[in-house]
Amino acid sequence: MIKICSRFFSSLCGLLFLAGASAQSLEVTYLANAGFMLKSGDLVAIIDGILERETYGMYAALPEAVYADLLAGNPPFEEVDVLLFTHEHEDHFQSAATYNYLQKHPDTLVVAPPQVIDRLGIDNDNVISVWPEQGEVLEHNAGGVQVELMQLSHGRRQHADVENLAQVVHLGGFTVLHLGDAAMEEFSFGTYDLGQRWFDVVIVPYWFFKSAPGQSIIKRQIKANHIIAAHIPPAELDEVKAMLAKDWPDVIVFDDTLDTRTF
Ligand SMILES: [Zn+2]
């Protein structure tokens, strides 16, 4: 459109361009735990959302009927371009469920760290293993969904060996940052200068809001139009919502699977 804009038509073209831009929106749908579906236009990504089983005695799975719809490709799961996974812990990635999904939807791409891909046990061109160096950002175009991948440590102790991929998902001109289970280590965030960037949506584990190191990261390293608190055990949902309403009133919390916010 820009190319055909002569000086004479520039104001009209500007209006058309604005109208086109405003028609595009981003839908964020809560699935379970830290799992979300992101949609804009024709592009659909699911991140950490193929969850058949509850985990660790506290984290939610998809309700049975929703899981069945996901596997069958019923609404709202008709056209999923890419499955993204931040790390191999089973509250984010369940290998059998993901394997079963891909048997039914072999055209859906997968982008994940090597530990996830190894456990998935599928070796074809649609399954992409990505592991950047510390401080390096790798980019991948997955079916039109552009993803930036960076390693943010899961922690120094018992999870030191877990490959955690924070991901910036670009759809329809929007950017969504999902941290996975990034540890609350400010230097790790500083490596990527995340505080110098502005995101449309950032998905943050809820414990960041409850501790001094996490609060400092949110204030200094996360700049976003909308922040979503995720990974909330259902048994703690009311308590977490009360804490956020008091101290972080702008932070978004989803109550139920398939609840959707449009930005
Ligand atoms: Zn984890």
> What pLDDT, in 10s, does the model give residues 110-145?
999 999 999 999 999 999 999 999 999 999 999 899
Q: How many angstroms is it from 91 CA to the middle of ligand 1?
A: 7
Beta bridge partners of 224: 199
Residues with CB under 5 A from ligand 1 (ion): 89, 181
Amino acid at 201: V
How far is the centre of ligand 1, averaged over its atoms, from the C-alpha of 27 (Å)?
25
Cα(235) to centroid(ligand 1), Å: 19
How far, in Å, is the centroid of ligand 1 from the Cα of 181?
5
The reported pLDDT for the residue numbered 23 is 60
Span 73-103, pLDDT tens digits: 999 999 999 999 999 999 999 999 999 999 9
| DSSP three-state, residue 13 | helix
CA distance 29 to 35: 9
| 168-201 confidence digits (pLDDT tens) | 999 999 999 999 999 999 888 989 989 899 999 9
What's the topology of domain 26-256? Metallo-beta-lactamase; Chain A (3.60.15)
Q: What is the pLDDT of residue 185?
A: 92
Phi and psi of 71, rounded to 5°? -65, -35
DSSP-derived letter for residue 132 is P
Q: What is the pLDDT of residues 51-74, one digit of tens each?
A: 999 999 999 999 999 999 999 999
pTM for this predicted structure: 0.90
Contact in structure between 249 and 236 (CB atoms under 8 Å): no
**How far does residue 146's CA lie from ligand 1's centre (Å)?**
24
Expressed in angstroms and rounded, the spacing between residue 79 Cα and the centre of ligand 1 is: 28
Domain extents for the chain?
26-256
Q: How far is the C-alpha of 202 from the C-alpha of 229, rounded, in Å?
A: 9
How many angstroms separate the alpha carbon of residue 102 from the centre of ligand 1? 23
Give φ, ψ of 157 to 5 degrees.
-100, -110
Dihedral sign, CA of 153, 224, 208, 37? Answer: negative
Quote the mean pLDDT of the chain. 91
Q: How far is the CA of 12 from the centre of ligand 1 (A)?
A: 51
Specify which residues 151 forms β-bridges with: 165
Query: Cα(89) to centroid of ligand 1, in Å?
Result: 5
